[in-house]
Amino acid sequence: MSTRLSIAEQIQRDYKRWLGEEGSLKEAIDRREVFPLINQVANELLGLQMQNGFKTGSIIIPSTIIATYSNHAVKQEHGRYYALLPVFPLSLPRNVGIFSVIPQSGAPLVDGKPFIPLTQEDWDLLRDTDEGLLEDQIGYYVEGRQVFFTKNPLVTVVKFKLLISDPALMGDGDPYPITPEIEATLIERVLAILKGNTSKQPTPKSQDR
Amino acid sequence: MVTITLDELIRKTLHKNGLPLHYYLPYLLFAKDGLKELKFTVLPCDNTVELTLDSRKEATLPADFVGEVAVYKAEGDKLIELPHNYLISTFDSPSAFPKELQINGADASTYIDEFGNDLAGDFGRINPRTDGYRIIPELNKIRLDNNSDLTKVYLKYVTLPKKTSNKTLVHPFIEPALTAYINWQVAFYTVNDRTVMLKRAEYYNQRRLAKINLYKINITDILTSFRMYHNQAVKS
């Protein structure tokens, strides 16, 4: 199974091969430069993969890219309850990037039933209607980094499940949370950026030189 | 009675359509619309209430009243359905009626009582109708003939879908029809015409099935199915 380290090493080897005899080890790219590029390109590819799924009407969410952030405090301000997003997830229709917000209570923490996701427009339009009661359930909507609840969530902490490839959640040797089918594309895209070529189709190696 | 909640139905429909919880609210909107339509068409009779009439022989309609099914009076241990009387005045108070009105040179009060009720309709009748009723939606009232001696009536009426602690309940027989309605409406706003037509046909099939499950077939259903694809009635 690929790890971020193994992907980075493969990119380094390919890059060095591309530099060939003209290049030297000094010119070889540092791993610390490759890691952020891998994360950025991985999120871009995952976002595109999901967007294409939405266009065809099928919403298949690879569970490998769900990042979990537990034990986040619920705060109150001017009668509104909210929690802060730990990171910004993938931008997808109907805020699917925020896969779920789950109440947590007890010690040890136990997950409850997920809150109902709404968009800001939904809540503005329907907050005073019967539908706004959400069948006696609690919803949430997002404003910037704040996740507001439609009423008191009755818990002090929540868990976020976000669609993102977050480097903070994994070590270099951990399995990298991308689907295998986009791994090759990820390496190609990172190499293309390193070579100064931002096109999505890197040119063959023989022509690169 | 066994019921399911609208929440359960929406979650099941989302799952069948391969959608996450993020589509809950659009589905909830469609489900509520569909449930209202089915309530008015397939499950019309919903609630019965005892109304006490005041001296004006009228009573305020229940807060959840949508439309009447029938009005009854109690006679012994039986309920007798009352007839409509569309001649009952809709004036809200006696003072609203112009007393100086003259009809054929005579004082209007000869023909019309102080509330504006037409008395001529009962002229010559041995047993004038006394217990007819009229629903007056603009006043939110039910009114009986002024000379009725009833003090209580029983109103059977259509209401909005029932809720238990803010959870809407759904009759199991209409669950497939409601699911079909949601799918039709989702298709209406998202996909091509042919799919919409198929989903629409599926909804009407399911609605018919729900009706068959709930009630015996009647003459109206038979005539409807005979004339389904014809715009004109059968000529004699």
Please count the residue pairs, one from chain A and one from chain B, whose beta carbons lie less than 8 angstroms apart: 48
pLDDT over 50 at A202, yes or no: no
Q: Is A122 on the interface with B (CB under 8 A)?
A: yes
Residues within 8 A of A (CB atoms), B 39-68 only:
none
Q: Is B191 on the interface with A (CB under 8 A)?
A: yes
Mean pLDDT, chain A, integer:
82
Could you tell me the two tokens for B41?
Answer: 């068409």
pLDDT over 80 at B81, yes or no: yes
Residue with tokens 């006679």: B75
pLDDT band with cut points at 50, 70 and 90 for residue B149: confident
pLDDT over 90 at A195, yes or no: no
Q: Is A71 left (phi over 0), alpha (psi -120 to 50) or beta?
A: left
- In order of A6, B88, B108, B190, the CA distances from B100 in angstroms are 101, 20, 7, 63
Tell me what the mean pLDDT of segment A1-17 comes to. 83
- pLDDT higher at A23 or B184: B184
pLDDT single digits (tens) A38-93: 888 888 888 887 777 777 666 777 777 788 999 899 999 888 999 999 999 988 88
In contact, A202 and A192? CB cutoff 8 Å: yes
* pLDDT score for B142: 92
Q: Is B25 on the interface with A (CB under 8 A)?
A: yes
pLDDT single digits (tens) B159-200: 877 776 678 888 888 889 999 999 999 888 877 777 888 889
Give the minimum alpha-carbon distance from B166 to chain A in angstroms, rounded to a whole number: 5
* pLDDT score for B46: 76
Per mean pLDDT, which range of A104-118, B102-116, B137-151 is the poorest?
B102-116
Give the minimum alpha-carbon distance from B21 to chain A in angstroms, rounded to a whole number: 7
Helix H or strand E segment including A194:
helix A183-194
Burial of A191 per CB tally in 10 Å (0-12, 13-18, 19+): buried
- Per CB-CB distance under 8 Å, the chain B contacts of A134 are 24-25, 28
Could you tell me the two tokens for B224?
Answer: 């409807």
What pTM, to 2 d.p., does this model score? 0.71
* pLDDT score for A132: 74
pLDDT over 50 at A153, yes or no: yes
pLDDT single digits (tens) A175-193: 887 778 888 888 888 888 8
pLDDT single digits (tens) B48-74: 999 999 888 889 999 888 888 899 999
Nearest to B20 among A96, A133, A139 (CB): A96
pLDDT over 60 at A165, yes or no: yes
Helix H or strand E segment including A183:
helix A183-194
Which is it for the CA torsion B216, B221, B223, B229, positive or negative? negative
- pLDDT higher at B111 or B196: B196
Nearest to B167 among A61, A118, A136 (CB): A136
Residue with tokens 């705060």: A75
Give the minimum alpha-carbon distance from B2 to chain A in angstroms, rounded to a whole number: 19
- Per CB-CB distance under 8 Å, the chain B contacts of A137 are 7
Answer yes or no: do B22 and A60 touch at CB < 8 A: no
C-beta atoms surrounding A120 within 10 Å: 12
d(CA B223, CA B5): 34
- ipTM score of complex: 0.78
